Amino acid sequence: MANEISLKYGCNPNQKPSRIFMKEGELPVRVLNGKPGYINFLDAFNSWQLVRELKEATGLPAAASFKHVSPAGAAVYVPLSDTLKKIYFVDDLTLSPIASAYAAARGADRMSSYGDWAALSDVCDKETAALLAREVSDGIIAPGYTAEALEILKTKRKGGYNVVQIDPDYVPAPVEHKDVFGITFEQGRNELKIDGTLLENMPTANKTLSEEAKRDLIVSLITLKYTQSNSVCYAKHGQVIGVGAGQQSRVHCTRLAGNKADNWYLRQSPKVLNLPFKPDIRRPDRDNTIDVYISDEYMDVLADGMWEQFFTEKPQPFTREERRAWLDGMTGVALGSDAFFPFGDNIERAHKSGVAFIAQPGGSIRDDNVIEACDKYGIAMAFTGIRLFHH
């Protein structure tokens, strides 16, 4: 271990010099391959904290897929159904528990995960490395790598794939600092523990949370702890299925995350699963094409004849009515918010995406309106009493 790593540049090429360093002691990371940059390390350290906490809270292997210092997806290990394996493009792979977790984390929003930074709570094995080897990704952080996994990863990106190993026993200082405009900010680290005790205050008529719902709400809340605020997160089956990050309005977060959750579920519909793709269409192009197919834009694609680039035959449109009918089958979704919901419109939007369980701080002067909206749909909501802003 060293106490300094020089970087090519900062957030942008004109921002030089650039480095990460420790004022005291050695860095808790080693670069095993590649040359990670400034944003890479921001993603690496945020994503590592997220997966470490998910593992501590659930006891399950955890993984995350980060882009620009927010998670595109995160997941703990839950066995994947055949349908999920297919939409995540891993139905031809042998998956270990940690590989399954990463497949789910990346599969939540594959378009946003293009060129991601991966994080694993456990040692990276050959199964996870094989999955990463065929995806577009910038790098990975994990507490260790098997010899086979490291050999596979070192062949990626013409040998330049970024592989970072972190000391899992590293404990950061309790006070953290950040310089902005030449001025140093100081604050205590957010060491708040997120577990089931935060879900005990339930002001709604429905006060029932299954163990699966509690797990998904904890996944959502821990994900929010490392997501740029404002943020809202939808989760199901132990994985994030939609994140709305960095929006100035909370309802915009709810809509953005809800739209991503809808896309996740629409990808599982028979109309999407049976799309007649040409065999040589790459996975990223399939992701982009599916995103267009499940939107109103597809009518323009049909009119322009662009479908011929991707399909062996012209697929029938996925109409708004058909999409709505399919989405009505999405149920049991958990939703977390990093701050209170100020209006019931957030609940109305969440209901459209199958939300049945909510965890949010509470404390709005309109809490009664939010509770009333939940009771209207039989949603069980917990007031956690804690805010999770992250900047």
Q: Which residue out of 230, 236, 237, 263 is catalytically annotated?
A: 230
Q: Is 193 a catalytic residue?
A: no
Q: Which residue out of 68, 154, 271, 390 is catalytically annotated?
A: 68
Q: Is 68 a catalytic residue?
A: yes
Q: Is cis: bond before 172, omega within 30 of 0?
A: no
Helix or strand or coil: residue 19?
strand
Residue 236, number of CB atoms within 10 A of its CB: 29
Q: List all residues 6 or more positions away from 294 whose beta carbon is below 8 Å from its beta carbon.
A: 263, 266, 267, 272, 318, 323
Closest to 90 measured CA to CA, from 110, 76, 73, 72: 110
The secondary structure of 201-266 as a DSSP string is ---SS-----HHHHHHHHHHHHHHHTSPSSEEEEEETTEEEEEEES-SSHHHHHHHHHHHHHHHHH
For 135, the token pair is 């995806």
Q: Is 237 a catalytic residue?
A: no
Q: Which residue out of 67, 214, 225, 260 is catalytically annotated?
A: 67
Q: List all residues 6 or more positions away from 19 whose beta carbon is below 8 Å from its beta carbon.
A: 4, 5, 6, 7
According to DSSP, the residues that pair with 141 across neighbouring strands are 119, 164
Q: Is 252 a catalytic residue?
A: no
- The set of catalytic residues is 67-68, 230, 391
